[in-house]
Copies of this chain bind each other. A is one copy, B any other.
Amino acid sequence: MANEKKINYVILGFLCYEPLTGYEIKKRIDNSLSFFWGGSYGSIYPTLDTLVSEGCVEKEQETSGRGKIIYSITEKGRTLLKEWLVRPVEKDELRYETLLKLFFGSELGREGILVHIQKFEKKTRDALMLLEMYAANLESARPDEEHQYYLLTVRFGIETYKAYLNWCQQAKTVLQQG
């Protein structure tokens, strides 16, 4: 109960803005949620089926072209989403293998740990650059409500990644001076 599946709400959330295919939903997730949430076809398509059977989503197949299946949200779906949105957050979870390896660092030694930190630093730097691009784009676009919330999540990522980089510097100094 405490760990209700969330992919439902991700789907409903995106369908709130516009009708989409399963494929497009996956892209939306990858593009705008990926640094704090995920979702695979193996969870998206079956969930779309369930949502249809529950009357939260409607499907319509294009007669022309590729015959894409386009899903749109119903009133019931919208209500379900809102009910979830007002409920308190159940879990915010960080699972960093880098930290796990670092924690047991005395078994690996300085050199090895430094390698992990350098990779982490690079990964973070790349991710930060991407988010900064997103932020710039969102800021230059005409500000509407949707974008405002999107931008806030992006800023969260930016602040967090900057803190990571800052920490990387500290950690490298500590490890190098012994």
Q: What is the oligomeric copy number?
A: 2
Question: Is A155 positioned at the interface, with any CB of B under 8 Å from its CB?
Answer: yes
Q: What residues of chain B lie closer than 8 Å to A163, measured between beta carbons?
A: 159-160, 162-163
B148 touches A156 (CB 8 A): no
| CB within 8 Å for A107 and B82 given contacts A96-B93, A152-B102 | yes
A-B contact pairs, 10 of them (CB 8 A): A6-B100, A13-B103, A13-B104, A36-B94, A37-B99, A85-B104, A92-B123, A103-B153, A159-B170, A160-B164
Q: CB within 8 Å of B: which residues of A?
A: 6, 9-10, 13, 16, 32-33, 35-38, 78, 81-82, 85-86, 88-108, 112-113, 116, 119-120, 123, 145-146, 148-150, 152-153, 155-156, 159-160, 162-164, 166-167, 170-171, 174
